[in-house]
Structure 1
Amino acid sequence: MRLLGRMSLQTKVLLIQIGIVVLVAGLISTTVISVLANLVEQQAGERALGIGEAVALMPEVRNAFDAPDPSAELQPLAESVRQAAGVSFVVISNRDLIRYTHPNRELIGRSLLDPPPAGGVPEDDAKPLRGEPVVVQEEGSLGRSIRAKVPIYNTTGTLVGAVSVGILVERVQDRLARDLPALAATAAAALLAGIGVSFLLARHIKGQTLGLEPAEIAALFEQREAMLHGIREGVVAVDRAGQITVVNDEARRLLRLPDGVEGWPVAEVIPDSGLPRVLTSGQSEADQSTQLNGRWIVVSRIPVRIRGKLVGAIATFRDRTEFEELALELQGTRSYLNTLRAQAHEFANKLHTIAGLLELGWEDQAVAFITQTTREQQQWIDELPTRIADPELAALLVGKASVASERGISFSVSEHSKLSSAHRASGLRTILGNLIENAFDAVDGQARRDVVVSIEEEPDELHVEVRDSGPGVPEALLSHIFESGFSTKSTDPGSRGFGLALVHKLVETQGGKITVHNDGGAVFEVHLPRRVVAPPAPAPPVMV
């Protein structure tokens, strides 16, 4: 048993196949020999019967029974027939079972039943005396033989005796033995062919299992299952026909799939999987972002080939929602820090101005400067809350005004802008903050630096517009500016700032739409449906 456990799979399969081949070859050979032996014996019996019937019809034999000494006439004739036919004996007897002929002359004149049997005349000897020929295998004076016993009628039709023609069994076996070498050669050839096929089959199985043993295959399967159901990426695999073969737990969670989808067409279960497209094109699709069930998902699709033949495809799904949200939050924090930095720098400059005026003794000018600065800042503080009911959004706009002032940008909120407290859109501060920063970047270095924000309420949606006086977005980039991985920062004119791809995803998450076009600069428009009204997400307070 230990030896069997140490054997390789190929050796086990080979030995099992060889054992089966040897067993089958042995059974077939035994069957063939048995059938051949029966056939040879049947042929010997039919031959003896034919010779016996011919002897019984010979005129010399029929007339000899009326002669004074039948044995004298029949013995030479019987021996002549025996030698000519190649049989073991030709024995002619009368109705009393007394032999008239026999190869052993000493038995001529003696009874066939010498010594007489206790049960009377055997049936095989009685049948010919009733006119019924018979073929039997029995023990006789010369040994065991296959013999045919045929009744003999004289010229008047009277049954006068019987002739027994026999072939010794050993002679039949000798003939069978002459056929055995050819049979053995055939069996050996079949056995060798079977062993050869078994060897090829064992090699094929080894190739199919990549040379792995059953224990290794089982271990790999267990590792595969543990890996599939342990990783934090969803995995869906399909075969060449597009039917699902593998779905792990994370894929079920992300795609909200029920149990038992294996074997179903992926086009029906996951219409937007993209796997049928990969099966058709045979091309990989890496790291494509998509919106699914309100979450940001990164999908990679690869075709599966075995020995160069396309056999299926695999898609992986990575949930990037948390990372994208953190990225947006980080961008908001950076924007907040930039606002604080700009405000600190602006107030430092103003304090330096006030300090200089006081040192020079120009108190009236210092008071006038303070009054003007306070009036400008207070105008934003007093005006915005009356139109923008979201305190944090209003604070964001005031902070952006400070940044704009620091950077020499004319920043304004259109007089038609209005946002009621009952119409707040989740993520609006993040969306608007990023678009304003991009607008500031767009007008840097321009002779005219204007950025205008418009927030208008409509019955079914909220319309947000950020317009700048920069060089606009090149026509070639308009269709790509929101693509994931597309970098909008460069030294080229019209390059945008950061976060447009993430803003686009956030807008889509809210069920909205964002567009861009050129009109004396870039114009970004965001439409957020009213149905997503929700309290604003927490954001860092904006200091003014």
Structure 2
Amino acid sequence: MANQSIARQVLLWQLALVLLLVAAGSGVALHAVHRSGAQTARERALDVARTLARSPGLAEAAGSADPTARLQPMAETVRRENKVDFVVVMSVAGIRYTHPDPTRIGKTFLGHIDGAVHGRTTTETYTGTLGPSVRAVVPVLGPDGRPVALVSVGVTNRRVDALVGAEIPLVLTVAAGALALACAASMAVHHRLRRQTLGLGPVELRRVYEHHDAVLHAVREGLAVVDAEGRLVLANDEAVRLLALPADFEGRHVGALDLDESLAATLAAGRTVADQIHLCGTRALAVNVSPTGRDGRMVATFRDHTELRALVGELDQVRGFADALRASAHEAGNRLHTVVALVELGRGEEAIRFATGELAAAQDLADELTNAVSEPALAALLFGKHAQAAERGVQLTVTGGPSTDGPDADPLDALAARFDPRDLVTVLGNLVDNAIDAAVSAPPPRTVQVTVGVDPDAEGALLLRVADSGPGIDEPLTARVFERGWSTKEAYGSQGRGLGLALVRATVARHAGSVEVARGPGGGAVFTVRLPAAVPRPRSEEDA
């Protein structure tokens, strides 16, 4: 039985219990019918005996010279009409005046008559000449109130059993109907339970639960289940961490869990979603929602896109290096051909001046970047962005901002230990990309100015400022630029793609910093980021 499905085990237990209950109920019902039949026979015998004992002339006939001749016909008539088995009229000494069997007349009555002799009515079950019977003995009172005769009326047990037997088919019919209904209900429960448990047995169901629980808590992605009413019914540990869910989240509507409005609306909508980015606190989450196929429930997965964006930033850095190397290789090839041609033409001095001039220009750019930004990741990022900007006709310049004096005058040397370089790449890379796009959309001269330094007005906070020569951002739009789904490209006439600035805000907020946008002196946009030095950088998994 242990290998059978839970539904089948429940069905067998239900059927056994139903059979037991129906059998017990039928037994109780039959016992009640028998008791009722015996009680009915007793009451009938008592009523007939009382009626006959009070009949006019009965006392006179009992005291006549031949009481049998007068009482036997009366007694038999009463017996037949009332469907009793015997009506016996006797003397107070117990000598029968009447009996269904005439041969018994004149003989002593079998039974207890002491109570009736003293004027009391008695009932009993006694085995007499006709077998076991339920009988009543009633005194016949004379004019002086004293018993002058006795009347006994009885119903044999055979008649009682016959009365009970007539009720047995009804009892059995009711029992059979109850059994059929109970079996039908049990089968309905069996089919429903089989569907709900997928026909699995206890061992299989326990194994499925253990596997489900192990997988649920082992996956690195957040996973949650939302029912058709928008209530959160399940979430693994990673989902609780990413969404900052309270301990009592189960059964609560997603709109009441202090989630981002757009994220809550997506979870409650019941629609399929693929890799949609949502902000949750300081995190950018990639959300996927798909139906389970049962009861309108939806399964949602959450991936920390903030970490993915950091990896994308590193890829952008590598891509920037590749673009810079490609552009440098192209330019180097052209310059080399020029130098070779000058040598072949016999103009060696001009070839030397040309070559050294190009080397000086490249060295000046490298010196400019390393002097302004000594942090390797940022320097590499800006070197690549410089090449990208040059290819698009934009002049990108990098300067060191206001700094403190002393041995720690270089801002990034002092702050590199406090901030994750990947976060700095995310912030500065997105701001520079937006600035280049904005500058390209404006007429020449197209410029992007990047400032990296320490802000003395903000207690030594790291200052990142990116200004462009683009059309700028109108004042009414400045409150929306950091919303998910909005891009600076909206301000320049194209459709927004909407994540870069939202990630900037999320990253800055994680470091308890601030980010502002304003219109510069030339009309372009100026983004200013301040990251307080007093707040240690969040630990990454590699640091753990």
Measured against the shorter chain, the TM-score band is 0.7 to 0.9
Equivalent pair of 2:63/2:148 in contact (CA under 8 Å):
no
Residues 163-211 of structure 1 show CA distances to partners (whole Å, capped at 9, x for unaligned) of 1111222122223223333333333333333333333332233233344
Q: What letter is aligned with 2:503?
A: K
Equivalent pair of 2:14/2:186 in contact (CA under 8 Å):
yes
* Cα distance in 2 between the residues matched to 1:109 and 1:405: 141
Equivalent pair of 1:442/1:494 in contact (CA under 8 Å):
no
**1:116 corresponding residue in structure 2:** none
* Cα distance in 2 between the residues matched to 1:263 and 1:205: 23
**2:451 corresponding residue in structure 1:** 455
Between structure 1 and structure 2, the one with the greater Rg is: 1
**2:74 corresponding residue in structure 1:** 77
Supply the RMSD in Å over aligned alpha carbons: 4.7
Query: What is the TM-score when the length of structure 1 is the normalising length?
Result: 0.75
**1:170-185 map, 5 Å:** 170-185=158-173
Equivalent pair of 1:87/1:166 in contact (CA under 8 Å):
yes
**1:333-372 map, 5 Å:** 333-363=318-348, 365-366=350-351, 368-369=353-354
* Cα distance in 2 between the residues matched to 1:202 and 1:375: 87
Matching of residue 54 in structure 1 with residue 38 in structure 2 = no
* Cα distance in 1 between the residues matched to 2:386 and 2:189: 81
**1:419-438 map, 5 Å:** 421-422=410-411, 427-428=423-424, 432=428
Equivalent pair of 1:128/1:151 in contact (CA under 8 Å):
yes
**2:63 corresponding residue in structure 1:** 66
Q: What letter is aligned with 1:179?
A: E
* Cα distance in 1 between the residues matched to 2:28 and 2:503: 79
Residues 32-84 of structure 1 show CA distances to partners (whole Å, capped at 9, x for unaligned) of 22222222222222222222222222343211343334344333433343344
Q: 1:536 to 1:185 in 2, by over 3 A?
A: closer
Unaligned runs of 5+ in 1: 114-121, 538-544
**1:198-237 map, 5 Å:** 198-237=186-225
* Cα distance in 1 between the residues matched to 2:189 and 2:229: 28
**1:149 corresponding residue in structure 2:** 137
Equivalent pair of 1:279/1:303 in contact (CA under 8 Å):
no
**1:22 corresponding residue in structure 2:** 19
Candidates 323, 328, 332, aligned match of 2:313: 328
**2:119 corresponding residue in structure 1:** 131
Equivalent pair of 2:373/2:452 in contact (CA under 8 Å):
no
Deviates more, 1:51-60 or 1:370-379: 370-379
Candidates 380, 394, 397, aligned match of 1:413: 397
Deviates more, 1:331-340 or 1:295-304: 295-304
Candidates 123, 137, 157, aligned match of 1:169: 157
Unaligned runs of 5+ in 2: 404-408, 539-544
* Cα distance in 1 between the residues matched to 2:197 and 2:466: 62
**1:455-534 map, 5 Å:** 455=451, 459-460=457-458, 462=463, 464-467=465-468, 501=499, 505-506=503-504, 508-511=506-509, 513=515, 523=524, 525-531=526-532
Q: 1:268 to 1:445 in 2, by over 3 A?
A: closer
* Cα distance in 2 between the residues matched to 1:452 and 1:440: 7
Query: What is the TM-score when the length of structure 2 is the normalising length?
Result: 0.75
* Cα distance in 2 between the residues matched to 1:63 and 1:269: 100
Q: 1:377 to 1:398 in 2, by over 3 A?
A: farther
* Residue 318 of structure 1: how far off its partner (Å): 1.1
**1:119 corresponding residue in structure 2:** none
Deviates more, 1:141-150 or 1:369-378: 369-378
**2:406 corresponding residue in structure 1:** none
* Residue 291 of structure 1: how far off its partner (Å): 4.2
Moved over 6 A (4+): 381-386, 437-447, 478-486, 493-496, 514-521, 533-537
Equivalent pair of 1:342/1:402 in contact (CA under 8 Å):
no
Q: What letter is aligned with 2:21?
A: V
Q: 1:418 to 1:407 in 2, by over 3 A?
A: farther
**1:118 corresponding residue in structure 2:** none
**2:109 corresponding residue in structure 1:** 112
Alignment size in residue pairs:
511
* Cα distance in 1 between the residues matched to 2:367 and 2:77: 149
* Residue 285 of structure 1: how far off its partner (Å): 3.3
**1:370-409 map, 5 Å:** 373=358, 376=361, 388=372, 390=374, 392=376, 399=383, 403=387, 407=391, 409=393
Q: 1:213 to 1:382 in 2, by over 3 A?
A: closer
Q: What letter is aligned with 1:301?
A: V
Deviates more, 1:74-83 or 1:43-52: 74-83
**1:315 corresponding residue in structure 2:** 300
* Cα distance in 2 between the residues matched to 1:430 and 1:59: 121
* Cα distance in 2 between the residues matched to 1:14 and 1:401: 72
**1:219-298 map, 5 Å:** 219-240=207-228, 242-257=230-245, 261-272=249-260, 276-278=264-266, 280-292=268-280, 294-298=282-286
